[in-house]
A and B are shown apart, each in its own frame.
Chain A
Amino acid sequence: MVMQILHDPGSLEVLSNFLARSYDSKQWYELKNAAERLSLSRGFDRLVSLDALDIELYEHQREAVLRVLRDMRGRALLADEVGLGKTIEAGVILREYMLRGLVRSVLILVPASLLSQWHLELTEKVRVCVPVGRTPASFEKQQVIASLDTAKRPENAAVIHARRWDMVIVDEAHRLKNKRTVNWKFVNAIEKKYLLLLTATPVQNDLSELYNLITLLQPGQLKTYSQFKQEFMLDKHSPKNLSRLRELLSQVMVRRGRREVFIHFPRREVRSMAVPLSGEERSFYVTMVDHLRRAYRAQPANKRNLLPFLLLLRETCSHPAAAGATLQAMRRARGQKLLPEAALVELLELSHGIQPAKLRLTMDVVAGLRQEKAIIFTEFKATQEALAAACQRAGVSAVMYHGGLDGRAKQAAIEEFRCSSQVLISTEAGGEGHNLQFCQTLINYDLPWNPMRLEQRIGRIHRLGQQRPVLVVNVVIEGTIEAYMLYLLERKIGMFTKVIGELDIILANLKAPYERVIAEIALDSRDEPEMRERIEAFGRELTEACHTYERVRRLNAQIFDAESQTLELEA
């Protein structure tokens, strides 16, 4: 016998029913056979998952997925340049394997900052619901998504290494560049059938990083390190025998540059508008910042909890009503309070009846759109309600969208926006997974302190498939921390001109998380000049991070992209 032929015991169930003469009608008999036929898996001749998904793969993505399935047999380094859709490629590959019954257990390792984004994209785009893994018990499930840092904790790693995984996906795989690190050893020790590594920059500093990644994927593909050095390295940074190296890499790596895939992104216009604080607003803002700074500094340096301060500061920049709601809650709360009672009372009094200048400016922007549809993003429910009331007063049809709505209500809100309303006022939950490309204007009423969220907001309308130019309006109040933040994002990172996906790589080059640094600057600075100075210093760090990213991007293009090298040589 060529190979073992096994028979499913379920067959006896059918025979048993047949013997019991519990016959079904011919109609159902034929339907069953037709259903079985439709659910057959026939190798990798076509992508069967695409028909059911609300995504349109670009030709380069389709090719990449088929190459990984057919030629690379599920072990590949997806190294497309930023913004070309590696995540979606990995998602489709996973779905294809799952549909064919070849993958049941999957472990997805991503940076903590991308965890929710991955979870969302898998659920809504690829329709694979992967729970987030945090505890050892959660890693016993069939499908888990977790941050690499969580997964490699000894208690979790023990569970992960004790079992077999059908597929492992690692995003931002350049973090596995060093063979001696815990990260590399952790992933190497996982028993897996298929492995997908995702990174736009396989080489960060030197060629050994590329060797380590490929060896993790396919040991022996580039032979031993000494042989690799001898054959392909002039020195740490310069490759030789490039054509042979590329040939070997092409067997396990998919990489396309932006020049190679002619994707048309519509123009993105960014207008940032600053409005001065009104008298009562200024008094509320200054008092709030003053109290927060005092309370923050009063905490022991090693036990400072930044989050509640951050929340109040963000709310103050958004709308006094949003901050007012939190202050009320703080007053009602028992136990130790963030601010003294007197300060809470004072701030609550000051917050009453303020008509923010930002709101007036936003309504002017909406009026200037001349019935064009717009999405207004805010982070807070109270601000959302204030915006809705302002729209109503101005006779602008608006619909609210927030995380408190159930699935049907969310769908209905999007439909209403599509069909009749001019404005969609949305919190962060806004339109995730929905097709909002019929709208071309986005107003950031308040800026999220995490730039990744800002990128996600823009990505809602400025994405592959958008046909018309997109307008992004940022509304900030002069002199507030929000204005400084906009300054950093716009001038130092150049965020609004970057391709979606680049920001995360740049921010990963920072010493501390962006959000935390900004909050510390706001709360820890003694006065305005000190704050300005610290903002400038942070700006320099951001610029340096951008340069580092640019250098790495060029190095990768030089090694992997034949076209770019030719262009550089010609230059």
Chain B
Amino acid sequence: MISDRDQQEQVRRFVLAFLGACGAQTDGRRIRLPRVLARQLQVDEQLELSFVPTASGEAECITYGHPLLDRMIALSIRRGATASLLCVRALDPEFLHLVFQDDPFSTAETDNRQFAWLKRTLRRVSFSKSQPRVVDRSLSYHVQLLFGFRVALISDETRERLMFILMDPLTESADSPVDITEAISFVPVTDGSTGPETSFAGDAEPLETLMSRANEEFPTHAYATLRLYRKACQILEDRLQKELREFKAEVDRRLKEDLERIETYYAGLAQEALDPLRRMFRQMAASSVRVQLARSFESETRHTKQLHLLRQRAQALEADYKEEAEQLRTEMVRRRNELTAKYQTRAEVRLISCAAVRVPRLTFTLRFGDPAFRPVTLVYDVLRARLVDHICEACEQPLSAARFCECGDLVCSDCFQSCADCGRDLCQSCASSSCHVCGHLLCSDCGKTCSWAAMRSSSSVAVCTSCHHEICSLCLRLVCGIDEW
């Protein structure tokens, strides 16, 4: 829930930004609008605005819901749906200077926060016994797509919110958000690609229907963007599920209460409609008894006549009842439909903006003194202060702290081990075997063969020296009755 004060502050910032963008001249509360804008906003060119409801004087107080604000909002919404942004201001010149001049792997202290953070991040990559040397470094901008959605949960009330999803085209997954307040507009040279000429209008539809329509209408070069958009929508839908569940549960509770009330009411009415018929049946029963108990022919005839009359009236009443019951049923269905329409829930999603956000990335190429290690490229995301595309080459999980193994693979701590015998750095893929007893990795030069297993099969089973001493010797003694192989 937003407080009134916060909302008013939002209004103030928006109005001032809008007037600034439209070229209005502001002098305190007094504002001079360009003629075209004044016409669009349906106000005089000279304006006096305030944002404090209690302010005295002639100034027009702009608050949430004010028609002038509504017109400004309407004008703003018509523009600005797409943008191309370059997050260049996030880069501190001193930081850049240090990146290109200094050694990011050195342990020397630095006063620059960004550079210190870079060093800390790089230090988390351990290169075993080899010291890396930066042979190349470059700055590039990686394009990500920022989709802005307006989501409305609609029932007998509407709740709306904005959701932004920043998609990475390489991983096709949502990346963590970046602060774009310091970004600048950047319009790249156009390659002549265009969107479809069609105008898209109509009722909201499921994502699949929308996307199949888009695939038909959009040119082939749009495929990657559409695919990314679809992924973003899927992520959005996943993120919405919890909120939707809560919203629907609330609405369903209200609907259930109302439906119960309606059904009880109409059931009661139907019962009451039966009352005249019930009374008639009671009269008929009494009359029938009278016929049976009649002592004379005359009284029997009289009662039979009466019973006959009552039967006729009962038939009429039954017809009336049927008609009334039908009416009640129709009315109840109408009321139910009214309620169902009132409490019908749905979520509507509209893409309000799409921006190409160019995020700065530093690329370092490293070489090592040990010729066994291949050159390594590390990519550092400056805005998010993390290494990107940095996955364990053994298990392919994101790599927070990495180490080089003997064969030159960058692996995570989980995949990294030392040879149980000689202590060489190994990963799962470059180890030749693992100890049959304790599971530790063994390099190609180390390890012994399990004697007992060797006796039973032709294939050799490795064990580490330690296990060989502790377990295999015992095994030989106990099972084979020999002290030494």
Chain A positions near chain B (C-beta within 8 angstroms): 1-46, 48-53, 73-74, 99-102, 127, 164, 191-194, 218-221, 223-224, 226-227
Cβ of B84 within 8 Å of any chain A Cβ, yes or no, is yes
Residues in B22-65 with C-beta less than 8 Å from chain A: 53, 63-65
Q: A9-B202, A35-B76 are in contact. Are A74 and B156 (CB under 8 A)?
A: yes
- Cβ 8 A contact of A227, one of B11, B213, B268: B268
Q: Which A residues lie within 8 Å of B148 (CB)?
A: 33, 36
Cβ of B93 within 8 Å of any chain A Cβ, yes or no, is no
Cβ of B386 within 8 Å of any chain A Cβ, yes or no, is no
Stretch from B106-114, B124-132, B337-345, B368-376 at the A interface: B337-345
Q: Which B residues lie within 8 Å of A20 (CB)?
A: 193-195
Cβ of B352 within 8 Å of any chain A Cβ, yes or no, is yes
Q: Identify the interface centre among A11, A27, A74: most chain B CB within 10 Å of its CB.
A: A11
Cβ of B159 within 8 Å of any chain A Cβ, yes or no, is yes
- Flag if A29 contacts B83 (CB, 8 Å): yes
B168-189 interface code vs A (CB 8 A; 1 in, 0 out): 0000000000001001110110
- Flag if A4 contacts B347 (CB, 8 Å): yes
Cβ of B460 within 8 Å of any chain A Cβ, yes or no, is no
- Flag if A220 contacts B342 (CB, 8 Å): no
- Flag if A40 contacts B161 (CB, 8 Å): yes
Which of chain B's residues has its CB closest to A47's CB?
B65
A229 to B3, CA, bound (A): 47
Since A16-B196, A42-B2 are in contact, a sample of 18 more A-B pairs with Cβ atoms closer than 8 Å, ordered by chain A residue number, is: A1-B237, A3-B244, A5-B206, A5-B237, A8-B204, A11-B350, A17-B81, A19-B194, A19-B225, A26-B83, A26-B185, A34-B13, A35-B73, A37-B10, A52-B65, A102-B156, A220-B265, A224-B268
A35 to B347, CA, bound (A): 21
- Flag if A7 contacts B248 (CB, 8 Å): no
- Flag if B80 contacts A18 (CB, 8 Å): no
B263-302 interface code vs A (CB 8 A; 1 in, 0 out): 0111011001000000000000000000000000000000
Cβ of B200 within 8 Å of any chain A Cβ, yes or no, is yes
- Flag if B83 contacts A24 (CB, 8 Å): yes
Q: List 22 A-B contacts (CB under 8 A).
A: A5-B348, A6-B205, A6-B346, A7-B206, A8-B350, A9-B210, A10-B351, A11-B351, A14-B352, A18-B354, A18-B356, A26-B83, A27-B20, A33-B148, A33-B162, A34-B13, A38-B64, A39-B73, A40-B162, A52-B66, A73-B156, A74-B156
Q: Which B residues lie within 8 Å of A218 (CB)?
A: 261
- Cβ 8 A contact of B346, one of A4, A23, A32, A99: A4
A20 to B184, CA, bound (A): 20
Q: A29-B83, A31-B79, A41-B160 are in contact. Are A49 and B264 (CB under 8 A)?
A: no
- Flag if A49 contacts B354 (CB, 8 Å): no
Q: Which B residues lie within 8 Å of A51 (CB)?
A: 53, 63-66
- Flag if B195 contacts A19 (CB, 8 Å): yes
Residues in B186-225 with C-beta less than 8 Å from chain A: 187-188, 190, 193-196, 198-207, 210, 213-214, 217-219, 221-222, 225
- Flag if A52 contacts B69 (CB, 8 Å): yes
Min CB gap B283→A, angstroms: 20
- Flag if B262 contacts A220 (CB, 8 Å): yes
- Flag if B83 contacts A19 (CB, 8 Å): no
A63 to B264, CA, bound (A): 31
Cβ of B349 within 8 Å of any chain A Cβ, yes or no, is yes
Cβ of B465 within 8 Å of any chain A Cβ, yes or no, is no
- Flag if A220 contacts B261 (CB, 8 Å): yes
- Flag if A18 contacts B10 (CB, 8 Å): no
Min CB gap B81→A, angstroms: 5
Cβ of B241 within 8 Å of any chain A Cβ, yes or no, is yes
Q: Identify the interface centre among A5, A9, A227: most chain B CB within 10 Å of its CB.
A: A5
Q: A74-B156, A100-B157 are in contact. Are A14 and B204 (CB under 8 A)?
A: no
Q: Which B residues lie within 8 Å of A27 (CB)?
A: 17, 20-21, 80, 185
A347 to B420, CA, bound (A): 129
Q: Which B residues lie within 8 Å of A193 (CB)?
A: 156, 338, 341-342
Min CB gap A196→B, angstroms: 14
- Flag if B157 contacts A26 (CB, 8 Å): no
- Flag if A2 contacts B204 (CB, 8 Å): no
- Flag if B80 contacts A102 (CB, 8 Å): no
- Flag if B206 contacts A25 (CB, 8 Å): no
- Flag if A29 contacts B272 (CB, 8 Å): no
B65-105 interface code vs A (CB 8 A; 1 in, 0 out): 11101101110110111111100000000000000000000
- Flag if B225 contacts A15 (CB, 8 Å): yes
- Flag if A53 contacts B65 (CB, 8 Å): yes
Min CB gap B308→A, angstroms: 31
Q: Which B residues lie within 8 Å of A18 (CB)?
A: 81-82, 195, 225, 354, 356
Cβ of B18 within 8 Å of any chain A Cβ, yes or no, is yes
Q: A40-B161, A191-B338 are in contact. Are A34 and B76 (CB under 8 A)?
A: yes
- Flag if A15 contacts B354 (CB, 8 Å): yes
- Flag if B201 contacts A29 (CB, 8 Å): no
- Flag if B80 contacts A29 (CB, 8 Å): yes
- Flag if A38 contacts B233 (CB, 8 Å): no
Min CB gap A355→B, angstroms: 42
- Flag if A31 contacts B66 (CB, 8 Å): no
- Flag if A25 contacts B185 (CB, 8 Å): yes
Min CB gap B72→A, angstroms: 7
- Flag if B162 contacts A42 (CB, 8 Å): no
Cβ of B226 within 8 Å of any chain A Cβ, yes or no, is yes
Q: Identify the interface centre among B82, B152, B193, B334: most chain A CB within 10 Å of its CB.
A: B82
- Flag if A3 contacts B248 (CB, 8 Å): yes
- Flag if A3 contacts B347 (CB, 8 Å): yes
- Cβ 8 A contact of A7, one of B162, B184, B205: B205
- Flag if A23 contacts B210 (CB, 8 Å): no
Min CB gap B277→A, angstroms: 15
A25 to B22, CA, bound (A): 12
A25 to B180, CA, bound (A): 13
Q: Which B residues lie within 8 Å of A223 (CB)?
A: 264-265, 268
Residues in B232-269 with C-beta less than 8 Å from chain A: 233, 237, 240-241, 244-245, 247-248, 254, 261-262, 264-266, 268-269
Min CB gap A157→B, angstroms: 16
- Flag if A12 contacts B65 (CB, 8 Å): no
- Flag if A30 contacts B17 (CB, 8 Å): yes
Cβ of B355 within 8 Å of any chain A Cβ, yes or no, is yes
Min CB gap A526→B, angstroms: 56
A89 to B397, CA, bound (A): 61
Min CB gap A350→B, angstroms: 51
Q: A10-B201, A23-B187, A48-B65 are in contact. Are A3 and B345 (CB under 8 A)?
A: yes
- Flag if A15 contacts B76 (CB, 8 Å): no
A411 to B353, CA, bound (A): 41
Cβ of B1 within 8 Å of any chain A Cβ, yes or no, is yes
- Flag if A26 contacts B195 (CB, 8 Å): no
Q: A5-B206, A7-B233 are in contact. Are A102 and B82 (CB under 8 A)?
A: no
- Flag if B65 contacts A99 (CB, 8 Å): yes
Cβ of B477 within 8 Å of any chain A Cβ, yes or no, is no
- Flag if B4 contacts A46 (CB, 8 Å): yes
Min CB gap A123→B, angstroms: 13
Cβ of B115 within 8 Å of any chain A Cβ, yes or no, is no
Q: Which A residues lie within 8 Å of B311 (CB)?
A: none
Q: A14-B82, A32-B81 are in contact. Are A41 and B190 (CB under 8 A)?
A: no
Q: A3-B248, A35-B14, A219-B265 are in contact. Are A226 and B156 (CB under 8 A)?
A: no
A43 to B155, CA, bound (A): 10
Which of chain B's residues has its CB closest to A190's CB?
B338
Cβ of B229 within 8 Å of any chain A Cβ, yes or no, is yes
Q: A15-B226, A35-B77 are in contact. Are A226 and B14 (CB under 8 A)?
A: no
- Flag if B351 contacts A15 (CB, 8 Å): yes
- Flag if A38 contacts B200 (CB, 8 Å): no
Q: A16-B196, A164-B341 are in contact. Are A37 and B272 (CB under 8 A)?
A: no
Min CB gap B215→A, angstroms: 11
- Flag if B347 contacts A52 (CB, 8 Å): no
Min CB gap B201→A, angstroms: 6
Cβ of B436 within 8 Å of any chain A Cβ, yes or no, is no
- Cβ 8 A contact of A13, one of B65, B156, B200, B219: B200
- Flag if A31 contacts B53 (CB, 8 Å): no
Cβ of B335 within 8 Å of any chain A Cβ, yes or no, is yes
